[in-house]
Copies of this chain bind each other. A is one copy, B any other.
């Protein structure tokens, strides 16, 4: 295994595609969003690249007894009424600081290969409490990108995200800018409970507005209802037992 091994699984001609990243992070918001895109656009999607690296954790996942080496996948999607997409998914982030740089450069290499010049990194920003309204907070690689996103409802807040953006999402902006990409990070507010389908939906609605496609949200909404039930039961427990049960903080999902 070299530092990086990129398997070309298939080739697809895309027209000015947009790279959309959904690696694991806070509230699994990015992962949920991109997986939902893959489900809804299954008919138009083709797996084009598998990316392996000694920077990924040394393990295999097992499904139905068959192993899969840790890696990331990129699907090419020819969207009927919207921008073509390159969807980036994976189960793990890099395991070292330098590894994040290596992997982000690899993802941008693939994006360049397919003629992409725009990147959307999707993630969550934790609010620390349950919320009713799901705003989408943004960050961009260049101020020229602010206006269109504000029109699409993205909020650019003065002190957020506090501490900046860490990992591949942050580096897609940082390295993307140096390599000539227009990069945007969309972060759905999330309490952080395990996974947050409502936050993923909020982020996808922004993408719909800027990239032109239309999505059905039935399956995401079902997952949202399931999560609400879980949250409700936990809060009942808290009230009934009135003891040291897991607090909101304990239950918060830190991706």
Which residues in chain A, 106-142, are within 8 Å of chain B measured between CB atoms?
A: 138-142
Closest chain B residue to A103, Cβ basis: B58
Question: A253 vs B174: C-alpha distance in the bound complex, in angstroms?
Answer: 29
Asked if residues A139 and B58 are in contact (CB atoms below 8 Å), the reply is: no
Asked if residues A62 and B97 are in contact (CB atoms below 8 Å), the reply is: no
Question: A173 vs B98: C-alpha distance in the bound complex, in angstroms?
Answer: 26
Given contacts A58-B101, A101-B1, A164-B60, whether A175 and B143 have CB atoms under 8 Å apart is no
Interface of A is mostly: mixed
Asked if residues A58 and B140 are in contact (CB atoms below 8 Å), the reply is: no
Given contacts A139-B66, A174-B68, A177-B67, whether A58 and B156 have CB atoms under 8 Å apart is no
The reply on A185 being an interface residue by CB < 8 A is: yes
Asked if residues B105 and A146 are in contact (CB atoms below 8 Å), the reply is: no
Chain B residues closer than 8 Å to A64, beta-carbon distance: 143, 156, 158
Question: A161 vs B101: C-alpha distance in the bound complex, in angstroms?
Answer: 31
The reply on A220 being an interface residue by CB < 8 A is: no
Asked if residues B143 and A66 are in contact (CB atoms below 8 Å), the reply is: yes
- Smallest CB–CB gap between A146 and chain B, Å? 6
Residue of B60, B168, B177 touching A171 (CB-CB under 8 A): B60
Chain B residues closer than 8 Å to A62, beta-carbon distance: 139, 160-161, 164-165
Asked if residues B139 and A67 are in contact (CB atoms below 8 Å), the reply is: yes
Closest chain B residue to A139, Cβ basis: B62
Which residues in chain A, 25-67, are within 8 Å of chain B measured between CB atoms?
A: 52, 54-62, 64-67
The reply on A96 being an interface residue by CB < 8 A is: yes
- Smallest CB–CB gap between A131 and chain B, Å? 21
Which residues in chain A, 55-93, are within 8 Å of chain B measured between CB atoms?
A: 55-62, 64-70
Asked if residues A60 and B165 are in contact (CB atoms below 8 Å), the reply is: yes
Quick one: CB contact mask for A141-154 with B, threshold 8 Å, 1 for yes? 11100100000000
Question: A161 vs B60: C-alpha distance in the bound complex, in angstroms?
Answer: 10
Chain B residues closer than 8 Å to A185, beta-carbon distance: 67
Given contacts A58-B167, A65-B143, A65-B146, whether A70 and B1 have CB atoms under 8 Å apart is no
Chain B residues closer than 8 Å to A160, beta-carbon distance: 62
Chain B residues closer than 8 Å to A95, beta-carbon distance: 97
Task: Give 16 pairs: A residue, B residue, CB < 8 Å, sorted on A.
Answer: A1-B175, A55-B98, A56-B97, A58-B100, A59-B165, A62-B161, A62-B165, A66-B141, A66-B142, A66-B146, A67-B139, A67-B141, A67-B164, A67-B183, A67-B185, A69-B173
